[in-house]
Amino acid sequence: MQSVNSAVVRGKDGWCGTVLPPAPATGIDPAYVRVQLENGEHYLVPAAVVIPQPDGSVYVPLRVAELVPAPREEPAETIYAVVPVLAEDLEVQKRLVETGKVRVTKVVHERETVVDEPLWRDHVAISRVPMQRVVDGPVPVREENGTTIISVVEEVLVVEKRWMLREEIHIRKRRTETHQPQQITLRSEEVQIERVSHAEEDT
């Protein structure tokens, strides 16, 4: 008999299904053909009664009630195993380690120093210079060769009134340098560092 696997199968009372390939795991006799109906049920049909049709389908001259139910296929047992996959990873950490301590002591030193900065003192010499000269009016203050000249005028009665320069006051400024030494205390700081042992730290 030619292979009819996956062919459409029709029965005597109008049932319809599909021919399934043989499943060796079920131990079904090769003289039977396994058929799955449209409702999903599996049945065994004697291969001798399967009649191939010109359109590629097959005909079985049996009613559904005459079909033999096919044994259920037990699903193959699947065994799952969990296999851990390990990988080494490098983790680098840093931590502070106390290797010692230092004590810082600040000492203030005092030293004497002499400050001798020049001080300037101005001396003013005032002299009166008589002047008898007619001027047009008040004369502004002027400076000549380091001398400040202040003009003193007055009005005098003549045939006509004019300005008469009576005198000039000459002011000369002379600067001398003097020294006044003073004793001044200056402070400076010095840092002394000594290492502290663990024995001193525990006490």
Whole-angstrom Cα distance, residue 144 to residue 149? 7
* End-of-domain residue from the set 24, 50, 69: 69
pLDDT in the model for residue 3: 60
Q: What are the C-alpha distances in Å from 68 to residues 19, 32, 42, 63?
A: 14, 10, 9, 11
- Nearest by Cα to 140 from 158, 123, 125, 153: 153
User: In this structure, is residue 91 part of a structural domain?
Assistant: no
Greatest Cα-to-Cα distance within the chain, rounded to the nearest angstrom: 179
3-state secondary structure of 99: coil
Residue 42 one-letter amino acid: H
Does residue 75 fall inside a structural domain? no
Q: Which positions ≥6 away from 25 have C-beta within 8 Å?
A: 73, 74, 76
Q: Residue 57's domain spans which residues?
A: 8-69
Give the count of domains, the chain.
Answer: 2
Say if 161 falls within a structural domain. Answer: yes
Question: Per-residue confidence of the chain (203 residues) as pLDDT tens digits?
Answer: 456 667 888 888 888 888 887 665 555 567 888 888 888 888 888 888 888 888 888 898 888 888 888 876 655 555 556 667 777 777 888 888 888 888 888 888 888 888 888 888 888 888 888 888 888 888 898 888 888 988 888 887 766 777 888 888 888 888 888 888 888 888 888 888 888 776 666 66
pLDDT the model gives residue 1: 47
Same domain, 132 and 48: no
Please indicate, yes or no, whether residues 30 and 124 belong to a single structural domain of this protein.
no
Q: Quick one: 199 and 107 in the same domain?
A: yes
State the CB neighbour count (10 A cutoff) for residue 154: 9
**pTM recorded for the entire structure:** 0.34
Quote the tokens at residue 147. 């001398």
Mark whether 124 and 195 lie in a shared domain: yes
